[in-house]
């Protein structure tokens, strides 16, 4: 085995590339896990503190260095406490071998199941508010509702919104082919030029689309109109084919993806 490691191309090319590749995979997967939980904002704060320390060190700012050195142990302990769920998830992924899998294991969004439910609810004149999560984590929103974590299906969406239960007035969060939570409360948009005819459900959908990268499907209870809100804009009264096309584009479905509608 020693002769293999002494080959020039192995020593000078393959080993450095393998070293960099493994490190890149670990960093990428760790970043993805932290981003899902919105902990990435805290990481950015830690990086800023490190940059301040570097500037203080090179400029010999002794008072600033002393303060940072005094705070350093507390910062590291605080980070370990704050990131405990994420660290556990990272090491669990390593144990399962998932961290080296570059492909997402999440199921694709079942758009047809949602659209089938929306058409049923539209005929019943029932309102609905369905949020498709993308890159930015929505834990702060799911925490306001009831955790479900069930496979997404037409029947489940229809059941949640077609009856006057405690969950029908809130929003449903959809991610990775699952209904994560229902009955969630959303921030309301305060746009001064927003149509006065739009009710609370539409304002909530626009507020969510303004504060995150989520895509929100809104069904009007009064008119049965179907709307999409994303990137801080609401598109009112769309046809079902338009919604299907936009959702597949926004959620980055492959063009040749054929879904089996789930009942």
Can you give the pLDDT of all 263 residues of the chain as single tens digits? 555 455 666 566 677 788 788 888 777 766 666 655 555 666 677 778 888 888 888 888 888 888 878 877 777 777 667 666 656 655 555 554 544 544 444 444 578 889 999 999 998 889 999 999 887 778 888 888 999 989 899 999 999 998 778 788 889 999 888 899 999 998 887 765 565 667 788 888 888 888 888 899 999 988 888 999 998 888 988 999 999 889 888 887 654 444 444 44
How high is the pLDDT of residue 203?
87
Q: Is 219 helix (H, G, I), strand (E, B) or coil?
A: strand
CA distances from 117 to 53, 174, 228 (A): 54, 14, 15
Fold type of domain 111-250: YojJ-like (1 (3.40.1700)
Q: Where in the chain is the domain with CATH 3.40.1700.10?
A: 111-250
Look at the pTM and tell me if it is higher than 0.85.
no
Q: Strand 215-219 vs strand 128-132: parallel, antiparallel, or unpaired?
A: antiparallel
């Amino acid at each position: 085995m020693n002769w293999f490691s002494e080959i020039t191309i192995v020593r000078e090319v393959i080993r450095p590339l393998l070293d960099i590749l493994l490190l890149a995979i670990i960093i990428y997967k760790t970043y993805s896990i932290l981003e899902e939980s919105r902990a990435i904002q805290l990481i950015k704060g830690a990086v800023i503190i490190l940059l301040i320390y570097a500037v203080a060190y090179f400029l010999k700012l002794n008072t600033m260095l002393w303060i940072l050195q005094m705070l350093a142990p507390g910062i590291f302990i605080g980070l370990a406490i704050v990131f405990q769920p994420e660290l556990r998830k990272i090491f669990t992924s390593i144990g399962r071998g998932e961290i080296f899998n570059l492909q997402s294991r999440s199921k694709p969004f079942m758009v047809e199941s949602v659209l089938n439910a929306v058409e049923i609810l539209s005929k019943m004149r029932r309102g609905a508010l369905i949020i498709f999560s993308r890159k930015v984590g929505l834990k702060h929103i799911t925490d306001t509702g009831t955790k479900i974590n069930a496979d997404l299906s037409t029947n489940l969406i229809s059941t949640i919104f077609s009856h006057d239960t405690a969950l029908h007035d809130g929003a449903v969060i959809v991610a990775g082919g699952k209904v994560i939570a229902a009955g969630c409360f959303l921030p309301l948009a305060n746009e001064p030029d927003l149509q006065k005819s739009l009710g609370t459900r539409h304002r909530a959908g626009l507020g969510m689309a303004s504060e995150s990268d989520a895509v929100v499907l809104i069904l009007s209870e009064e008119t049965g109109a179907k709307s999409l809100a994303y990137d801080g804009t609401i598109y009112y009264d769309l046809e079902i084919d338009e919604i299907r096309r936009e959702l597949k584009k926004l959620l980055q479905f492959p063009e040749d993806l054929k879904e089996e509608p789930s009942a």
